[in-house]
């Protein structure tokens, strides 16, 4: 069995719209942090620490080092992640929306199929007829619970500003078609399922038509679905004959959760 990584990292050096920060405590700095945290649990301990006392000295540890520690401050929509209905609105299908920790795990280990939309240009959308054409091109009939991956090639822009502006979106008609076929999860190798916001916002401000603004996401208020954003390396897997593993990190009450998405090839 071959495992293909389809995920992007959480990377504080990459260009992001929202701030990402990873505080990195080195092995040597970890000694001092340990003393500060443990001694800081009481007023007397804080006083002793301020006066230079330590309960553990680096000279007492192997190589003068303690343990490293990384503290990640990042939105759940950075890195490869799954979005669920709470992200789209407070209600879905006339009931309270579900959060990422409620994603049924059986949906997250299923056969996958890849559809090629690399011909789509920025500001264009992938519609129902595009999905039908792509499926016909690989002679594949969708089965319930299959995880459908949209290959646009936009992941190659990751780390640059263009990653947020040069990719196609997904039309609600495409989502409806997938759901009608029994698909529960679909994924994109773009930063989002809607067109880049600069196009949507310009059209909305000109027309004030709510259908122009995040229509794919807002469709999740009508029908419940899960989608994966920020996939990568889809060129390394075939059109079908593989399984997708996309279990979400269990975070309480969030609209999305990070996932290390991989394809399992026989």
The CATH number of the domain holding residue 160 is 3.50.30.50
Do 40 and 148 belong together in one domain?
no
* pLDDT value of residue 265: 97
Whole-model pTM: value is 0.93
Do 32 and 110 belong together in one domain?
no
Domains contained in the chain, number = 2
- 15 domain-assigned: no
Do 139 and 246 belong together in one domain?
yes
pLDDT tens digits, the chain, 266 residues: what are they?
Answer: 999 999 999 999 999 999 999 999 999 999 999 999 999 999 999 999 999 999 999 899 999 999 999 999 999 999 999 999 999 999 999 999 999 999 999 999 999 999 999 999 998 999 999 999 999 999 999 999 999 999 999 999 999 999 999 999 999 999 999 999 999 999 999 999 999 988 988 888 889 988 889 999 999 999 999 999 999 999 999 999 999 999 999 999 999 999 999 999 98
Domain hosting residue 117, numbered range: 2-10+75-265
Domain limit, last residue, from 57, 73, 89: 73
Do 120 and 158 belong together in one domain?
yes
Do 113 and 143 belong together in one domain?
yes
Give the span between the Cα atoms of 79 and 10, in whole angstroms: 5
Do 121 and 229 belong together in one domain?
yes
- 144 domain-assigned: yes
DSSP sequence for 146-208: PEEEEE-SGGGGTTSGGGGTS--EE-HHHHHHHHHTT--EEEESSS-SSPPHHHHHHHHHHH-
- 220 domain-assigned: yes
Do 58 and 79 belong together in one domain?
no
- 52 domain-assigned: yes
Do 121 and 199 belong together in one domain?
yes
* pLDDT value of residue 209: 87
């Amino acid at each position: 069995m071959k495992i293909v990584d389809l995920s992007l990292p959480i990377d504080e050096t990459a260009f992001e719209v929202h701030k990402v920060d990873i505080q990195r405590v080195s092995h040597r700095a970890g000694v001092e942090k340990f003393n500060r945290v443990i001694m800081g649990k009481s007023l007397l301990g804080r006083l002793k620490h301020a006066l230079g006392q330590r309960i553990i000295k680096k000279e007492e540890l192997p190589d003068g080092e303690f343990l490293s520690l990384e503290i990640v401050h990042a939105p759940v929509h950075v890195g490869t992640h799954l979005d669920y209905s709470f992200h789209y609105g407070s209600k879905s299908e006339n009931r309270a929306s579900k959060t990422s920790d409620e994603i049924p795990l059986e949906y997250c280990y299923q056969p996958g199929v890849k559809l090629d939309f690399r011909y789509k240009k920025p500001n264009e959308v992938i519609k129902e007829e595009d999905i039908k054409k792509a499926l016909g091109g690989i002679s594949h009939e969708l089965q319930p619970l299959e995880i459908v991956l949209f290959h646009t090639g936009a992941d190659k822009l990751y780390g640059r500003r263009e990653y947020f502006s040069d990719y196609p979106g997904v039309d609600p008609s495409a989502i409806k078609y997938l759901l009608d076929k029994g698909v529960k999860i679909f994924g994109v190798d773009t930063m989002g399922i809607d067109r880049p916001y600069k196009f949507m916002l310009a059209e909305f401000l000109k027309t004030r038509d709510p259908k122009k603004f995040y229509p794919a996401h807002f469709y999740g208020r009508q029908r419940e679905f899960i989608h994966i954003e920020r996939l990568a390396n889809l060129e390394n897997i075939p059109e079908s004959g593989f399984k997708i593993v996309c279990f979400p990190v269990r975070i309480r009450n969030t609209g999305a959760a990070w996932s290390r998405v991989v394809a399992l090839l026989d």
